[in-house]
Structure 1
Amino acid sequence: MSAELDVAARVVELIRELAGREAEAEVVVRNEAEALTRFANSAIHQNVADVTTGVRLRLHTGGRTAGGSTTVTGPDGLRALVERTLAAARVSPPDASWAGLTRPAALHVSAGHPGSGEHSGLSFGFDEATAHADPADRAARVRDFVDAAGGLETAGYCRTVAVAAAFANTAGQAVEGRTVEAAMDGIARSGSASAGFADGVARLAASRLSGIDGAVLGARAAAKARAAGQPAELPPGSYEVVLEPDAVKDLLENLATFGFNGKAWVQRQSFAEPGRAQFDPAVTIVDEPLGSRAEPAPGLPFDDEGTPRRSLVLVRDGVTRAVTHDRTSAAEAGAESTGHASPYSRSWGPQATHLRLEASDTAVSTADGPAAIAASARPLVARVARGLLITDFWYTRVLDPKSLVVTGLTRNGVWLIENGEIVSAVGNVRFTQSYPQALGPGRVHGIGGESVLLPESWGRARYAAPALHLAGWNVTGNASG
């Protein structure tokens, strides 16, 4: 038994002692160790590391529910957590939406890992070297990034995160797991204050730090920055586009948050209509929290309600197949939880955090081409009569959750394509676009042959995205309007 599972079991014992056998409760214990190396002006300026063990309790008694948390894991701290959560529950309003507890069930193992089947222990695919990486390990990648940028100003970070977690409830479910991630995100900048700056970006997430090559990322960011100089102004209109994986990640993130969200679906605030061909037949989207042979980056094998996680097909060959549920949204929908509970899912809805848009079976291009273009995007660019190559989106905001109309800006490189060739850099533009419509039937002209695993900026989500060739994208102005 891990230390985290021992703490969870002690909280369950305290609940039975203080709240009685009729109380229902679930406990999540999470130990998270994050280490971050930041660099700016082409030099490391910060190394930080933080290790925290947190305990979250949700307690249901007398038809009322309350939650509490603590980072004090000694006997007195755990007792105080149970006492104050019980007191809060007794004065809370009745909770008619309480869906009960997860019953005891074994965890699943991804087909991408040894021992495929079921288990009740720690996750496979946990890299000890990454979990115990030191500042020198991350600094080596930063040095390679800076050197590969060839004198351009650089900035960014390299991080490692290791999580050990456990869950226990009063119904007898008790599970534990571990996960680890490495990520690097950096920019290179060319130009000057008088002539204007141009930025290029390179990002990557991996299940081990050894999978991060700072030199490759630095060279890619620098090539983009150099190619983005002297941008031309572009008039508004609908443009054929090739979106590189960084931009596609934004599509996946918003689809997960607003489209495939089970609470939004129950409340009729989602575009999703399971059983309908809402996407182009080339589109298949899968949530793979346990990783896969194609993307071996497993997360925790259970959610915050103790439900075992497994692969979930959301879209197959253009047909919407499912939405994500926690126990609350599943009860409202007359369905079963898909293992997507989080600390926020009762409020914000259950969201997929390991989405993968399946790449095509076309081999990644090895032909020479502009280094500023991602390898999997090069064959797609060659098919464009006139359109845009877009590296990245930022500051995206949802205007209409139901149709998932999003407005935002491009960033870190946009280029005009004519007759399959890059002809000039383009200034950043504002767009307003329905994401499902952009991926609709007949709108996807091509998908890259390689998915790139990318980190989410503010959380622990991971998105595996290929490049996309889309029939149209609505440019509504330049970056200032």
Structure 2
Amino acid sequence: MSNLDIAGRVLDLITAAAPGADASMNVERQSQWLTRFATSFIHQNVADEGTSVTIAIHTDGRTATGSTTMTGTDGLRDLVDRTVGAARLAPADPGWPGLPGRSTLTGSGTADEATAAASPDERAEVVRAFVEATGPLESAGYCRTVVWAGAHVNTAGQQLEGRSTLADFDGIARLTGSDGVARLASTRLSDLDGARLGEQAAGDARRGVDPVELPAGRYEVVLRPEAVADLLTNLSFYGFNGKAHNEGRCYAKLGEAQFDPTITIFDDPVGPGRIGVAFDGEGTPRRALTLVSKGVTSAVVHDRRTAAVAGAESTGHAVAGGSSWGPQPVNLGIAPGDDEIASMISRIGRGLLVSDFWYTRALDPRQITLTGLTRNGVWLIEGGEIVGPVRNFRFTQSYPQALAQGNVLGVSRNAVSQPTRTPLSSWSSPALHLAEWNFTGTASG
């Protein structure tokens, strides 16, 4: 059965079990294939394919949700029966926002048929090119392809379908304790140039051998796209959440110039070539949304519940577990500027080039203050030139403060699509030249 066929069968079962109930259902088929390698050899090919059905039922002022991966007649009937039963026992739900009515999509998602049909051999070719480009260095990482197809149907007449693909790569090269990294995400496997990615990772590993230790302190920095991806990850988690905004727990203050004028932040899952899903779990079509326009915070993201509280409209950002966490943008990007990394470096009297951040944890979610570590390459810049590798630092930094007015000295013209922790999403990351970054610890303590 097609996704819409399954959704129609579920709708019939709900109508019979709970006449007059408000109900919605999502049917999602996702296939994920992963080729992993370590010590420069492929050691694992895994695949995960499945169909899930999730429903929400609101009846007699009460709401319940349920899900299953059993899509036969008995499995769907069991899902409906237990969800209707749960709704009748649930506490009253005065915040029920109702269902979205019939609407059209602004985009159906970007699906590349060659990527959807990619074989283990094709992913292995990307890995082989990466490993060959790293030469005698030890390498490790993964190449992944994902295809998603979904449908949403509700009792208010909404009926939506979408399909998307993802291909991403994350690899490191290592030489005597020095690591280099290369990451890339796309809707097309053919965009993953293993040789170019391997050259990047191997070059950084070679340039990172025998680092020196510098004292902690505030340094002017150039952050490469891999590091900027962590800024976007945490801005997504903490920066623009409509529930947190309604409750006064959010950094975003609408209409205020909270960032440098060079910073425009957007969320776009549906533009041409963009990785993403065309509608959210509540059946709201998604669209490109500008969250920060030339430094001014212009929007937060909403699902239907948070939008009802705010007197706004849903922006299509409902996520699983959103009733407790709230909506979240998962296709964030910083709009490219007109700079180049080489030019950024040439303007620095003394500072650091930072490849990557990791193990970052929020100390103050409201101010989006994080602590974490550098990795995969840090280099000292003096007199506009890279003079040598530096040992890793710990940092403590408010991400919005780093991007505040006067602190952003350059934004690169090229934004690199970076893998995320969530399939069918990505971060669009340019390199950034920042006036300072607060490094609070060194490798020795």
TM-score range, shorter chain: over 0.9
SS at match of 1:160: strand
SS at match of 1:107: coil
| Equivalence for 2:142 | 157
d(CA) in 2 for partners of 1:126 and 1:34? 14
d(CA) in 1 for partners of 2:110 and 2:90? 42
- Which residue identity lines up with residue 436 of structure 1 in the other structure? P
Partner residue of 2:233 out of 248, 253, 263? 253
**Overall identity of the aligned pairs, in %:** 56
| Equivalence for 1:441 | 405
Cα drift, residue 401 of structure 1: 1.1
SS at match of 2:261: coil
- Which residue identity lines up with residue 50 of structure 1 in the other structure? D
Cα drift, residue 343 of structure 1: 1.4
| Equivalence for 1:85 | 83
| Equivalence for 1:48 | 46
SS at match of 1:58: strand
d(CA) in 2 for partners of 1:320 and 1:140? 44
- Which residue identity lines up with residue 466 of structure 1 in the other structure? P
Partner residue of 1:388 out of 324, 345, 352? 352
Give matches, 1:50-449, under 5 Å. 50-109=48-107, 123=108, 125-191=110-176, 197-292=177-272, 296-362=273-339, 376-449=340-413
Cα drift, residue 378 of structure 1: 1.9
d(CA) in 2 for partners of 1:97 and 1:221? 50
TM-score by length of 2: 0.98
Q: Which moved more, 1:2-11 or 1:172-181?
A: 2-11
Contact 1:409 1:479 in 2 (8 A): no
Contact 2:275 2:426 in 1 (8 A): no
| Equivalence for 2:30 | 32
Cα drift, residue 347 of structure 1: 1.8
| Equivalence for 1:466 | 430
d(CA) in 1 for partners of 2:69 and 2:286? 26
Cα drift, residue 25 of structure 1: 1.2
d(CA) in 2 for partners of 1:168 and 1:124? 17
SS at match of 1:361: coil
1:57-84, CA deviations, whole angstroms, 9 ceiling, x for partnerless residues?
1111111111111111111111110000
- Which residue identity lines up with residue 443 of structure 1 in the other structure? N
| Equivalence for 2:419 | 455
- Which residue identity lines up with residue 209 of structure 1 in the other structure? L
Contact 2:276 2:424 in 1 (8 A): no
TM-score by length of 1: 0.91
Cα drift, residue 461 of structure 1: 2.4
SS at match of 2:106: strand
1:288-323, CA deviations, whole angstroms, 9 ceiling, x for partnerless residues?
11024xxx2242211111101101000011000000
| Equivalence for 2:10 | 11
1:359-386, CA deviations, whole angstroms, 9 ceiling, x for partnerless residues?
1134xxxxxxxxxxxxx42221111111
Cα drift, residue 479 of structure 1: 4.0
d(CA) in 2 for partners of 1:402 and 1:17? 46
SS at match of 1:176: strand
d(CA) in 2 for partners of 1:89 and 1:457? 32
Contact 1:387 1:417 in 2 (8 A): yes
Number of residue pairs aligned between Structure 1 and Structure 2: 445
SS at match of 2:405: coil
Cα gap change, 1:480 to 1:36, in 2 (>3 Å): farther
Runs of 4 or more consecutive aligned structure 1 residues displaced over 4 Å after TM superposition = none
Cα gap change, 1:480 to 1:26, in 2 (>3 Å): farther
Contact 1:280 1:442 in 2 (8 A): yes
d(CA) in 1 for partners of 2:158 and 2:361? 39
Cα drift, residue 233 of structure 1: 0.9
d(CA) in 2 for partners of 1:341 and 1:188? 38
Contact 1:200 1:223 in 2 (8 A): yes
Cα drift, residue 236 of structure 1: 1.4
Cα drift, residue 480 of structure 1: 5.6
d(CA) in 1 for partners of 2:186 and 2:443? 32
In structure 1, the gaps of 5 or more residues are 110-122, 192-196, 363-375
Cα drift, residue 457 of structure 1: 3.4
Cα drift, residue 124 of structure 1: 5.2
Cα drift, residue 28 of structure 1: 0.7
- Which residue identity lines up with residue 158 of structure 1 in the other structure? C
Contact 1:325 1:339 in 2 (8 A): yes
Contact 1:291 1:299 in 2 (8 A): no
SS at match of 2:414: coil
| Equivalence for 1:113 | none
